[in-house]
Amino acid sequence: MASEAPTLHHQHVRLYDQVRSVHLERAHELDPAAIVYRVKRYDFDPELASGIELAQAGNLAAARMALRSRITRVEVDEPLYLDSLPRTAAVLAALGLKRLFGAPRAEVATYAIENLDPFAARPPRFRSRLRRAVERILSAYVWHRLDTVVYGTPGARDLYGETFVRRPRRQLTVEALPSPCRCDAERTVQRDPDGVVFLGAFSPRKGFGDVLAAWPAIRSRRPHATLTLIGSGGMLDEAQAAADADPSIRLLVDPPRDVIHTELLRAHVLALPSRRVGDWREQIGLPLVEALAHGCEVVTTSETGIAEFLIDAGHIVLPGDADAARIADGVDAALARHRTAADIRSALPAVDGRIAAGRALFEEQVPA
């Protein structure tokens, strides 16, 4: 982690706890800004960082960076994302301190997709309760400092409305739906009518084990079905064992982005039956968004914040506690559908929802 606090060149800053490839892809489509982050995610692609001002900094270094730089606009992680609260609060406090010495007030905005109240459960231990109390104070401070909130899902809008009394000056909802991916205009990939893909972290909360458990039942009904596992995670050994034991299962561990695009163009169905685990709930699910952008049928659960859209658009949305048998039924039903990729993408907006939201954070007009 960087120990120095350089002066940022851009006056517009995006303050992220974690940075990943999708942030870099979006940055190329948004107004130029410096990205200040704490850690890189496993899927960070350095080739996408070309032309973007990136600075890695912890809590104190980020605050020092804010003191030394001229910042007029800052996009922060949402107030109910607890891991980033100390860093966000430190930067906002530094900007507030600068105002005492005549600096202009920086405009602060956030994009919110949280759909599960992190303060609802009472931690069992005193230290945990004390930490949660501090987090509640920091969360309220960050919320109070916001000028604009753009909600990515109706569930997030409802949650924040129930959690905080004060309303920021500007609030709007831009649903986190993708636009059709443009990659298929430059390549020809044959769609596999029996192809199923799992994309994401190999973990229980993503329903990875349930997909593996459902696969024999799917194969019994569809002997030509294939399953491609794309990602990594704590259940990588199980993924490797499944691929070694079953020739219909293929494993791709953290492949490059162009490979992921190709596999999604080839697949007929994406299966991501997310589970609610502890204080975690699927906010949206980047694999769901990417699958839609490439025209895949989707099989997921009601845990995602875009569940209502998926239902209206004809995808398979299972209960959050669906077992392997229900998942097998859902995948089988999705494979039986004969919609083309173009049919599926026709329900998507012309502009990616996250790009539209990013443009709206510091604009006075609601995006069309």
Token pair 């199980």 in the structure block, residue? 238
> Model confidence over 45-58: pLDDT tens digits?
888 999 999 999 99
- In one-letter notation, the amino acid at residue 215 is W
Cα distances (Å, whole numbers) of residue 312 to 103, 254, 340: 49, 32, 17
Sign of the CA dihedral running 234, 235, 237, 243? negative
Which pLDDT belongs to residue 63? Answer: 96
Which pLDDT belongs to residue 4? Answer: 57
Where the chain has pLDDT below 50, the residues are 1-3
Angle formed by the axes of helices 85-99 and 126-145, nearest 10°: 40
Residue in 168, 115, 116 with CA at minimum distance from that of residue 140 = 168
Q: What angle do CA 237, 241, 243 make, to 5 degrees?
A: 115
Joined together, the tokens standing for residue 125 give 């231990």
What count of other Cβ atoms lies within 10 Å of the Cβ of residue 70? 14
Distance (Å, rounded) from C-alpha 3 to C-alpha 319?
Answer: 46
Cβ neighbours of residue 175 closer than 8 Å, sequence gap 6 or more: 152, 153, 154, 306, 309, 353
Residue in 181, 180, 228 with CA at minimum distance from that of residue 200 = 228
Which pLDDT belongs to residue 245? Answer: 97
Cβ neighbours of residue 268 closer than 8 Å, sequence gap 6 or more: 191, 192, 193, 194, 195, 196, 296, 297, 334, 335
Distance (Å, rounded) from C-alpha 321 to C-alpha 318?
Answer: 8
Find the helix or strand (DSSP H, E) in which 209 lies.
Answer: helix 208-221
Name 171's bridge partners.
149
Radius of gyration of the chain (CA): 21
Joined together, the tokens standing for residue 293 give 């952008």
What is this structure's pTM? 0.88
What count of other Cβ atoms lies within 10 Å of the Cβ of residue 264? 27
Residue in 265, 241, 236 with CA at minimum distance from that of residue 253 = 236
| Three-class secondary structure of residue 77 per DSSP | coil
Longest C-alpha distance within the chain, in Å? 71
Which pLDDT belongs to residue 279? Answer: 83
Q: Are 299 and 272 in contact (CB under 8 A)?
A: yes
Residue in 240, 183, 239 with CA at minimum distance from that of residue 211 = 239
Strands (E), 202-268: 226-232, 249-253
Which pLDDT belongs to residue 1? Answer: 42
Distance (Å, rounded) from C-alpha 75 to C-alpha 145?
Answer: 12
Distance (Å, rounded) from C-alpha 268 to C-alpha 39?
Answer: 34
Strand order in the sheet with 107-112: 54-56, 34-40, 12-19, 73-76, 107-112, 148-151, 170-173
**Helix (H), strand (E) counts: the chain:** 13, 13
Distance (Å, rounded) from C-alpha 131 to C-alpha 301?
Answer: 32
Q: What angle do CA 79, 82, 84 make, to 5 degrees?
A: 80
